[in-house]
Amino acid sequence: MNARTYLAAKVGAEIAVPIALLAGWQIWTAEAGSQKFPRLSTILVEFKDMWLFSQFGTHVVPSLERIGLGFGIAVVAGVALGIPLGLSRWARLWAMPHIEYWRAMPPPALLPISIILVHSIGNVQKVSFIAFFCLFPVLLNTIDGVRGIDPTFVETARSYGLGAFERVRRIVLPAALPQIFAGMRNSLSLAVIMMVLSEYFSSTSGVGYVLLISKNTFDFGPMWAAILLIGVLGYLLNVLFVILEQRLLAWHRGWRATAPV
Amino acid sequence: MRRDRLTQGLVFVLSIAAALAFWEVVSRTGVISQKDLPSMSTTFRELWSLLKTGDFWIAFAQTVRGWALGLGVATALAVPIGILLGSSDFAASAFRVPIEFLRPIPSAALIPLLFLTLGTTLNSEIFLAAFGAFWPLLVQTMYGVRDVDPVALDTARSFGVGRFERLYRIKLPSAVPYIATGVRISSGVSLILAFTAELFMGNPGLGQKVNFAQSFGLENQLYAYALATAFLALAIHLFPPTVERRALRWHPSQRLGAA
């Protein structure tokens, strides 16, 4: 087998295997006729009927809103806390035990507590729950990013008489930015999970709520449509984020490419 | 050097003491009412009395079982599949699309489906934990197998070492640190999902206890169980690095002075 046929076979397999899997699903479910595992075509029709776009406004928009707000708060708080913690060894010594503790905490364990503390099952509870657990990837990456900065940069800036605020704005923040973005990417996929968990536990709207209701009514069509939607949502958010990252960090890659090693 | 470590230890203890005192004060002074946030002393007393009951330890053991079996199943599947996909370019591209599509689906979305198909059984808990723990471990194993030093591989080949021998003697040892990292990530995921299954599906364990405590408005118990869960998670989080250091003593990454 020469190189070209091998490449062709590889590309062929990459296309054929997913199609075969989907076809297998369709054939198996049509054969089994199980209510629990509907046919692929049924799921797709259900998906179109529900999300494009009759229930988009009532359930998808609230979920996206919660993800956006929770994620946004987590990023701002994570960077704002991470920079001083990255710069000061003392602050780290004080804070690290707490960060390690809360980071290890399984998020669902705090779900009932979050409802008690905020006295709500509405947006305040959902957004604060999402924000709390999305904080850690951003925070830890910011700390690491700031710690990893070449001290010469900061020293040089200081010797040129830049004030503390200017040093952070012009040196520390840009230098730590690639790693902050890595943390943000983790946080974003975490935000989708936290959204589902918090809505599934108790809510009146959202994609997680659709899951909950379809479970309680044994309605498998909407359930599969919701699972598919959550998968698509996570995928699209990630793609969007990568595009944004490439634009915002273009200067960084350009600088890296020309920097002598 | 020794004084430095002493100060570090002191700060560590003081920092935790300060946080616990803060908790006590916030609750006692009613900044957050004691009904919503039982004070630190009440919560620890509650936890202490729970620790003396067999009921607590059964729930604890059930959660640990879910975690261990979930992680075990995930490892048994992810490592061989990861080695296969990592060493064959062809297999990797054949299964790339399905993997990239399934991987980001949050396990939480599968809860209602599992509840209605497998029910409140140990199987559903293991499935959920294993599904979540599978992906990080698979990706780590694939990277690890791919990141083999090509010179070592070529050398072995030129010495006439067979395919299986190469896998066993060169690829696997060099992938082990990656796999270890994967196990560490997956271990945390597995615990979270075992707990999630208990909380949402009613499988017996700490999660179910938390759910009961909330349903019956037993705030003290709720906080005590959450505290116990966090300690279990912390133990599981801190345990693997110690094992890793011992088990991987031979590997360059663990040698003294390595960055």
- pLDDT tens string B25-41: 998 898 888 888 898 99
Residue B136 falls within a domain, yes or no?
A: yes
Highest average pLDDT, of A251-260, B81-90, B146-155, B205-214, comes from B205-214
Q: Cα(A26)–Cα(B226) distance, rounded to whole angstroms?
A: 43
- pLDDT tens string B168-226: 888 888 888 889 889 988 999 999 999 999 999 989 999 999 999 988 988 899 999 99
On the 0-12 / 13-18 / 19+ scale of CB atoms within 10 A, B68 is: middle
pLDDT at A128: 94
CB-based contact (8 Å) between A118 and chain B?
no
Alpha helices by DSSP H, listed for chain A, are 3-32, 40-51, 61-87, 89-104, 107-118, 123-147, 151-159, 164-167, 173-201, 207-216, 220-248, 250-258
- Closest to B229 (Cβ–Cβ): which among A14, A106, A212? A106
Residue B63 falls within a domain, yes or no?
A: yes
* Distance between A136 CA and the closest CA of chain B, angstroms: 15
Question: Which residues, at least 6 apart from B83, have a Cβ–Cβ distance to it below 8 Å?
Answer: B141, B145, B167, B171, B172, B175
Residue B9 falls within a domain, yes or no?
A: no
Residue B179 falls within a domain, yes or no?
A: yes
DSSP E strand stretches across chain A = none
Q: At residue A81, does pLDDT exceed 80?
A: yes
CB contact (8 A) between residue B210 and residue A109 = yes
The structural domain count of chain B equals 1
pLDDT at B259: 37
Cα nearest neighbour of A228 on chain B: B105
Q: Cα(A46)–Cα(A219) distance, rounded to whole angstroms?
A: 11
Which residue shows structure tokens 């930015």?
A177
* Distance between B140 CA and the closest CA of chain A, angstroms: 16
CB contact (8 A) between residue A108 and residue B192 = yes
Q: At residue B10, does pLDDT exceed 50?
A: yes
Residue B41 falls within a domain, yes or no?
A: no
Q: At residue B62, does pLDDT exceed 60?
A: yes
**Separation in Å, CA A158 to CA A85, A148, B119:** 19, 18, 63
Handedness of CA B115, B50, B188, A208 (dihedral sign): positive
pLDDT at A155: 85
Residue B15 falls within a domain, yes or no?
A: no
pTM above 0.90, yes or no: no
Q: What residues of chain A lie within 8 A of the CB of B98, using their CB?
A: 17-18, 21
Q: What is the DSSP string of B130-185?
A: HHHHHHHHHHHHHHHHHT--HHHHHHHHHTT--HHHHIIIIIHHHHHHHHHHHHHH
Q: How many contiguous H segments (helices) and E segments (strands) does chain A have?
A: 12, 0
Percentage of residues of chain B with pLDDT beyond 70: 95
CB contact (8 A) between residue A227 and residue B115 = no
Q: How confident is the model at residue A256 (pLDDT cuts 50, 70, 90)?
A: low
CB contact (8 A) between residue B116 and residue A218 = yes
pLDDT at B97: 83
- Residue from A17, A25, A29, A207 whose CB has the most chain B CBs within 10 Å, to mutate: A17
Q: Cα(A99)–Cα(A143) distance, rounded to whole angstroms?
A: 11
CB contact (8 A) between residue A235 and residue B101 = yes
Q: At residue A246, does pLDDT exceed 70?
A: yes
Residue B4 falls within a domain, yes or no?
A: no
Q: Work out the mean pLDDT of chain B and round it to a whole number.
A: 88
CB contact (8 A) between residue B105 and residue A230 = yes
CB contact (8 A) between residue B12 and residue A193 = no
CATH number at residue B183: 1.10.3720.10
Q: What is the mean pLDDT of residues B8-25?
A: 92
CB contact (8 A) between residue A14 and residue B97 = yes
Cα nearest neighbour of B216 on chain A: A112
Q: At residue B258, does pLDDT exceed 50?
A: no
Count Cα atoms within 13 angstroms, Cβ side, for A200. 29
- pLDDT tens string A44-79: 888 888 888 778 888 889 999 999 999 999 999 999
CB contact (8 A) between residue A117 and residue B115 = no
pLDDT at B257: 45
Q: Work out the mean pLDDT of chain A and round it to a whole number.
A: 88
Domain range for B228: 46-246
CB contact (8 A) between residue A18 and residue B110 = no
* Distance between A63 CA and the closest CA of chain B, angstroms: 14
Q: Which region among A94-103, B217-226, B231-240, B246-255 has the lowest average model confidence (pLDDT)? A: B246-255
- pLDDT tens string B84-105: 898 888 888 888 888 887 887 8
CB-based contact (8 Å) between A104 and chain B?
yes
Of B62 and B165, the structure prediction assigns the larger pLDDT to B62
Q: What is the mean pLDDT of residues B143-163?
A: 86
The amino acid sitting at B240 is P
Of B160 and A82, the structure prediction assigns the larger pLDDT to A82
Q: Cα(B203)–Cα(B223) distance, rounded to whole angstroms?
A: 20
pLDDT at B89: 82
Cα nearest neighbour of B199 on chain A: A108
Structural contact between residues B207 and B216, judged by C-beta atoms closer than 8 angstroms: no
Q: At residue B47, does pLDDT exceed 60?
A: yes
* Distance between A111 CA and the closest CA of chain B, angstroms: 10
Of B204 and B167, the structure prediction assigns the larger pLDDT to B204
**Separation in Å, CA A228 to CA A13, A43, A180:** 24, 9, 30
Q: At residue A261, does pLDDT exceed 50?
A: no
Residue B5 falls within a domain, yes or no?
A: no
